Structure 1
């Protein structure tokens, strides 16, 4: 089935996600988990941005409905639990509420009757709280810098946590409006004593920009990319046994797992760093990464794609390796949508309201050249959006594998040597990963499930879920932009 008009297809994907998976009574997506739900909320705010900017007259009532659900999720979000989760989980929350603030700022200039500005202080406070919590993961004792994934396991400095710290830090610099709420919790009414009161923070605090720059400098010298120029998953430290016996102290035991989202989150961070500094190196690094991803899907041109697994897909279609055999965990089902969300942010046209609500140091000429570069990705994006659209079932729900083939003809690609694939198989039960104290570690979302065999490859494993639906929404939104 052809995708046809892209904008209605995007709105339809959002409608299906909310009508089939959102629960008004609990103000959440019951089948989601904490971090994937933060991503769903981000996708909604980002989609509302597109609807408001280009089709406000057509979709005004839908915009109000979906924004009310974002507001409702502020209370439905499991904020107290997220405070104690991994440092990457916390940063999805930062990006979520900054995206909501960006929407409110935009829509307030379009619709004078919109009253969303009243929620900005709460959204900003939660973003600030979770950035503060996550920043505690930055550590210079090991590897000379970089973010730890968690303090509940042996030290692991992984791509996603570090890329998120770049993206969330520069977004705080650009879009955070300031916060004078002294409460140290992001849950209204939680008691605290005065010694815990937080100081006020202004908008455009340079410490956020400095954190992003320092983190990116570390990441680019960390040797975290493979021979294809793709980010692998991360590093352990050889010989580390405890904080007093740190072994080499270096990031020298690399996990070669390659995931789609590890190539995506950095892109919005690079776009933000260019806007904040005007340094074109950030855009150029982004162009290189996008081209590496496109090549790793087997894309040669609009008329020629390789059917052989090429690192991140085949037939020119972005895939995680687990898509092919239906073994994706709940986490992994969220990955491709994250890639396309951050590619969309990277390629977002510069609008006047963006200049007015953030610090912009790039030039308009650079912005024009950037748009021309992004136009070069259009055929590949369209190819992927069409592939995703074709996986919808009778209820309009997107599948997770966008290049489905008959299971009788499957050629399952091998994991790279040195890859643990812990995102789908769970955290290994060994001393490389686990602390001797054997703390209980939250592994929610890190294992796949098996369903009854089906003739539809997208019904294998976990099948169609709110995560796969949000992925479909993200890739179609990328094309719509």
Structure 2
């Protein structure tokens, strides 16, 4: 009994600590977003961002625009929307397509799909906007580029290695000429598979039919892709269908289900149901005379925050496509696993989310954005689920409402790092007795992370107060 009482006191202190933190008010959020856009948007792109963190910055701004519901914000909305749309449609070169990894494809597809989704909300809110006449063409271009990249990303999936799963790195050939070299770089990681599954499901629900290329560079890339499909069997790839990509292809949902099942059995989860980074291949021999066998069990066991709920988008859209409520429950379980990890020391302490690198101040550029992304995932997951029955809708809302205190605690911790210039620090877990010189790096990635949790907190306080 004494142990139970002590455990309860510790748990209660954590809860009170989280609820005691108060996030900033909405006016501060608008100022911070204005400063962020003015500071980091330069020459039609995000200053200092990589390809995928730039896509994440654009996705953050789309999420912000969805919260601006009044005509008072009309000029700001038009300005931001036109600029980030221009970036996504101009950042399109053959060199970029050939040199990126499959996870980069996935982030770009995600960004394009969110812009496509927001365009309908924009049309409904601002029917007299000067942009309205351009929306049909913009939607065609969003859809084609998302379809083109996702069609290429389908090449990442292979069943002959590890029984399935999407690969992280693009391979020029599937045919193995020298196995020990060809297979050494193959990596099937959590984030690539989460993006692959989620984009499959979201594309299916986007209702865009068969996208067509609109501009000459899109047409050129499209026909180059079709030519590659013809010659790829020579390099060991399966013979692909010579046809346009169809958003409504039911194969997309099959691929989502197949991908989720593979992740569940691929030893990517810890005992706490947290996703490790991924699996590499290795050769094994039981005896010196035996031919080496290829195994898919060289686990990279590092935990990263952004891996944990990146798959809930797939579950939400799978539920929408199939009218099955089970994926919704699975998504909430993933969120609860993430929250628990911020109390047990796996991905944070005292309820505040952090990556392992945060407290040591040695996060790479990519890592600096990681912990902000789960909050936008949770925000979008907790939108109403009109297709479900009333009982499931009520349960969904109840679960989402329960996350509010935890989100507010993280928002307050992130806001506490803001300096006089309005910039977020990189480590939210500092207390007043700790030095922050080493750990409080500032970059576009740290700003996206901080603004993501603040925006999510503001949204939750409006929807679940």
Is the shorter-chain TM-score for this pair beyond 0.5, marking a shared fold? yes
2:305 aligned with 1:260: yes
How far apart, CA to CA, are the structure 2 residues paired with 1:194 and 1:257? 36
Structure 2 distance, partners of 1:39, 1:164, is 13
Report the counterpart of residue 78 of structure 2 in structure 1.
64
Q: Render the CA deviation track for 1:44-84: whole Å, top value 9, x for unaligned.
A: 11221222xxx323322211111011122124425434422
Structure 1 unaligned runs (5+)? 299-308, 352-359, 410-453
**CA separation in 2, counterparts of 1:290 and 1:376?**
11
* Deviation sequence 1:216-253 (CA, Å, 0-9, x none): 11111112111221101111122189xxx995444211
1:239 aligned counterpart, secondary structure? strand
Could you tell me whether the CA contact under 8 Å between 1:237 and 1:247 is conserved in 2?
Answer: no
Distance 1:126 1:30 in 2: 23
Larger radius of gyration: 2
8 Å Cα contact 1:232-1:255 kept in structure 2: yes
Deviation of 1:191 after TM superposition, in Å, equals 8.9
Q: Residues 442-472 of structure 1, C-alpha deviation per residue, up to 9 Å, x if partnerless?
A: xxxxxxxxxxxx854544xxx2111111111
Aligned length: 405
Question: Which residue of structure 2 lines up, in the alignment, with residue 166 of structure 1?
Answer: 197
User: Does 1:36 pair with 2:50?
Assistant: no
Q: How does 1:200-279 map to 2 (within 5 A)?
A: 200-239=244-283, 248-279=293-324
CA distance in 2, matches of 1:473, 1:188: 37
Contact 2:55 2:111 in 1 (8 A): yes
Contact 1:148–1:156 (Cα < 8 Å) also in 2:
yes
Displacement of 1:318: 0.4
Change (3 A) 1:8 1:76: farther
Q: TM-score, normalised by structure 2?
A: 0.80
**Cα 1:270/1:132, change in 2 over 3 Å:** same
Residue pair 1:148, 1:158 contacting (<8 A) in 2 also: yes
Describe the SS at the equivalent of 2:362: coil
Match of 2:108 in 1: 93
CA distance in 2, matches of 1:173, 1:384: 34
CA change 1:334–1:246 in 2 (3 A) is farther
In 2, Cα distance between the equivalents of 1:78 and 1:201?
19
- Supply the distance in 2 between the matched residues of 1:70 and 1:199 (Cα, whole angstroms): 30
Deviations 1:183-203 (A, max 9, x none): 799747769579649744444
Give the CA RMSD over aligned residues: 2.7
2:22–2:409 CA contact under 8 A, matched in 1 = no
Task: Give the CA deviation at 1:395.
Answer: 1.6
Q: TM-score, normalised by structure 1?
A: 0.78
State the secondary structure of the residue aligned to 1:265: coil
Q: Which runs of 5+ in 2 are unaligned?
A: 1-20, 172-183, 230-241, 460-465
Identify the match of residue 382 of structure 1 among 408, 425, 432. 408
- Whether contact under 8 Å (2:213, 2:222) holds in the other structure is no
Q: Do residues 472 (structure 1) and 453 (structure 2) align?
A: no
Q: How does 1:324-343 map to 2 (within 5 A)?
A: 324-343=359-378
- The answer as to 2:307 corresponding to 1:287 is no
CA 1:117/1:480 → structure 2, altered by over 3 Å: closer, same or farther? Answer: farther
Determine which structure has the larger helix proportion and give its number: 2
